[in-house]
């Protein structure tokens, strides 16, 4: 099993990516300082549901600012020897104890190339993704762009989330990716005004130019903002309509009450008049 989506986590914002035929496609981004971040994330979640064919599951791409990339001697000769050598080599390289770290590594020429992250960072990332219902199943990284292409073969994988067992089938476990996430295009969102996004995926033209990619991501973010604004307007209109209807009901109830009170007074006055006339006749 491979997740259909990825959440690219940075200190500035969150980017949602969708797995395409030739690579990963940008769906949209949400800035963390956006006052409507919850609504924006909800829109991304609905968009993901519209794109998904087998349910929404995501892998979480951790920011490189939270990851230590390093090399430690690991001559082996066996896998268990290398594991012990990596653990010893990581001691003292971070403020955390080895048991407070998650790491992945590849070995080349007796040297382990290691990616290391604090487990508390994993917990924070998972909590955020789970809160917004993105069903996170794993933690990964994308090595820095200035690293040699073969520095880390495959994708650094820091393990499964704490809720992965409830999202994955026992007979369809998570598969390790052959390569880190690479964005090659964007998802074209059609029917932005619909409550359920109508989507059309296009990844026929790989995008390599950084400026173009930024423009595409900005356009996707703008579309997300437009959708959120449209939903906010609809919500405001619905609330205004409900308020107007409530006021109309209150007015009608007040008028009905006033009418009932007037009729009661008239009846009481008529009864009093009739009583007075009857008493006058008796007296006469």
DSSP string, 110-174: TEEEEEEEEHHHHHHHHHHHHHTT--EEEEE----TTS-TTSS-S--EEEE-TTHHHHSBTTBPP
- Report pTM: 0.67
Query: Quick one: how far is CA 78 from the chain centroid?
Result: 41
**Looking at the predicted structure, is the pLDDT value of residue 199 above 50?**
no
pLDDT in tens, 54-76: 889 999 999 999 999 999 999 99
pLDDT of residue 209: 33
Question: How far apart are the C-alpha atoms of 191 and 67, rounded to whole Å?
Answer: 39
The three-state secondary structure class of 108 is: strand
**Looking at the predicted structure, is the pLDDT value of residue 22 above 80?**
yes
5-70+81-224, CATH topology level: Nucleotidyltransferase; domain 5 (3.30.420)
pLDDT of residue 151: 86
Kindly state the average pLDDT of the residues 154-175. Answer: 94
The three-state secondary structure class of 44 is: helix
pLDDT in tens, 250-267: 999 999 999 999 999 999
Sorted by sequence, the CB contacts under 8 Å of residue 86 that are 6+ apart come out as 72, 74, 103, 105, 112, 114
Higher pLDDT, 113 or 22: 113
Higher pLDDT, 161 or 199: 161
**Looking at the predicted structure, is the pLDDT value of residue 268 above 50?**
yes
Sorted by sequence, the CB contacts under 8 Å of residue 93 that are 6+ apart come out as 68, 70, 116
pLDDT of residue 153: 85
Higher pLDDT, 232 or 185: 185
Quickly state the pLDDT bin for 222 (edges 50, 70, 90): low
pLDDT of residue 228: 67
Kindly state the average pLDDT of the residues 108-134. Answer: 96
Kindly state the average pLDDT of the residues 121-126. Answer: 98
Higher pLDDT, 214 or 209: 214
| C-alpha closest to that of 140 among 4, 6, 1, 31 | 6
């Amino acid at each position: 099993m491979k997740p259909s989506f990825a959440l690219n986590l940075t200190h500035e914002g969150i980017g949602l990516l969708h797995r395409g035929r030739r690579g990963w496609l940008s769906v949209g981004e949400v800035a963390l300082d956006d006052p409507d971040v919850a609504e924006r994330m909800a829109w991304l979640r609905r968009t993901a549901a519209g794109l998904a064919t087998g349910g929404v599951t995501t892998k979480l791409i951790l920011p490189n600012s939270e990851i230590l990339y390093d090399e430690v001697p690991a001559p082996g000769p066996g896998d268990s020897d290398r594991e012990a050598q990596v653990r010893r080599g990581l001691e003292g390289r971070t403020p955390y104890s080895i048991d407070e770290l998650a790491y992945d590594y590849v070995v080349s020429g007796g040297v382990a190339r290691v990616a290391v992250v604090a487990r508390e960072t994993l917990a924070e990332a998972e909590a955020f993704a789970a809160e917004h219902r993105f069903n996170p199943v794993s933690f990964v990284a994308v090595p820095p762009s200035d690293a040699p292409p073969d520095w880390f073969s495959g994708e650094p994988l820091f393990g499964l989330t704490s809720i992965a067992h409830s999202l994955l089938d026992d007979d369809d476990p998570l598969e390790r990716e052959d390569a880190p996430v690479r964005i090659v295009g964007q998802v074209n969102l059609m029917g932005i005004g619909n409550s359920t996004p109508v989507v059309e995926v296009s990844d026929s033209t790989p995008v390599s130019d950084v400026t173009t990619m930024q423009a595409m991501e900005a356009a996707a973010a703008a579309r997300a903002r437009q959708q959120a604004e449209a939903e906010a307007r609809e919500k405001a209109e619905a609330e205004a309509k409900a308020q107007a209807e409530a006021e109309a009901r209150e007015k009608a109830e007040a008028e009905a009450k006033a009418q009932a009170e007037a009729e009661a007074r008239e009846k009481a006055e008529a009864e009093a008049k009739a009583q007075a006339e009857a008493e006058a006749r008796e007296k006469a």
